[in-house]
């Protein structure tokens, strides 16, 4: 079955224009913003939460929060950062109310930014298995450490971007990422797939600039 083409936000000036038009009740602009940011929001929430029966509802709620915040958006930070902030808060709220373990599902079952890149089924399956392993380790961490690490490792955000999105000092974010990676390294001692991933990932450094 073919996948719908994903429109992703790469133009902050265009985002600001669309926000202004949306605030003027331009339905076409609102639809375009929805298409541009829903894949990001859904993808971030999936990577942080894993498979969650409430994922779609959470993504819709996050988009609604994003829309409600448009009246305060002035373009000082990117709209992507605003969306990340909403996702962080949504994910933290969901993690803190959980009392069960997460079981992940294949990533290709969700429309997300990476689905436009990982077109090979074997690559998708390998990535899904890796994410499942990472989530099993992350289940043991506090929500704050889990969110920081997965935003950094799976979404490619820098520590500075995560700090801005979570309104937390960069040094704290780096500490959370380091702690989470240490837990992953301990688990990798008995898991060759995780060990190979860590060997390839950033040379053990935390990106922050």
**CA gap 104, 146 in Å, rounded:** 15
Sequence spans of domains, the chain? 12-204
> Which residues, at least 6 apart from 28, have a Cβ–Cβ distance to it below 8 Å?
21
Q: Under DSSP, is residue 4 helix (H, G, I), strand (E, B) or coil?
A: coil
Count of CB atoms situated within 10 Å of the CB of 13: 8
Q: Compute the chain's Rg from CA coordinates.
A: 17
Q: Among candidates 55, 36, 53, which has minimal Cα distance to 44?
A: 55
Nearest to 56 by CA among 1, 94, 97: 94
Per-residue pLDDT of the chain (209 residues; tens, 9 = 90+): 343 334 445 577 888 888 889 888 889 998 998 888 999 899 899 888 887 888 999 999 999 988 888 877 776 778 888 889 899 999 998 888 774 444 444 434 433 444 444 456 776 777 777 777 777 888 888 899 999 998 998 888 999 999 999 999 999 999 999 999 888 888 888 888 777 777 776 554 554 44
Residue 108 is given by DSSP the state G
Tell me the two tokens of residue 195.
């060990």
Cα-to-chain-centroid distance, residue 4: 20
Structure confidence at residue 9 (pLDDT): 54
- C-alpha separations of 84 from 15, 68, 148, 193 in Å: 15, 15, 11, 29
The pTM of the full predicted model, rounded to 2 decimals, is: 0.68
Helices and strands (H and E) in the chain: how many: 9, 0
What pLDDT shows up at residue 120?
Answer: 65
Two tokens, residue 197: 């991933």
Angle between helices 159-166 and 143-153 (to 10 degrees): 140
From the list 7, 75, 73, the residue with the least C-alpha distance to 40 is: 7
Residue 76: CB atoms within 10 Å: 6
Q: How many residues does the chain have?
A: 209
| Backbone CA torsion sign across 75, 174, 154, 128 | negative
Fold assignment, 12-204: Rna Polymerase Sigma Factor; Chain: A (1.10.1740)
């Amino acid at each position: 079955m073919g996948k719908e083409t994903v429109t992703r936000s790469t133009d902050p000036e265009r985002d600001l224009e669309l926000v202004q038009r949306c605030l003027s009740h331009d339905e076409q602009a609102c639809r375009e913003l929805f298409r541009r940011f829903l894949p990001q929001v859904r993808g971030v929430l999936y990577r942080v939460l894993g498979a969650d029966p409430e994922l779609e509802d959470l993504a819709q709620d996050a988009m609604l929060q994003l829309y409600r915040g448009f009246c305060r958006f002035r373009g000082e930070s990117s709209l992507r950062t605003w969306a990340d902030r909403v996702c962080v808060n949504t994910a933290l709220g969901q993690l803190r109310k959980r009392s069960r373990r997460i079981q992940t599902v294949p990533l290709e079952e969700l429309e997300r930014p990476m689905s436009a890149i990982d077109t090979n089924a074997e690559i998708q399956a390998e990535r899904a298995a890796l994410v499942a392993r990472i989530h099993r380790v992350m289940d043991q961490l506090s929500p704050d450490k889990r969110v920081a690490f997965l935003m950094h490792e799976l979404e490619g955000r820098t520590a500075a971007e995560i700090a801005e999105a979570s309104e937390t000092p960069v040094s704290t974010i780096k500490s959370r990422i380091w702690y989470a990676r240490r837990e992953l390294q301990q688990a990798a001692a008995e898991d060759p797939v995780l060990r190979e991933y860590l060997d390839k990932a950033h040379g053990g450094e935390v990106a922050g600039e």
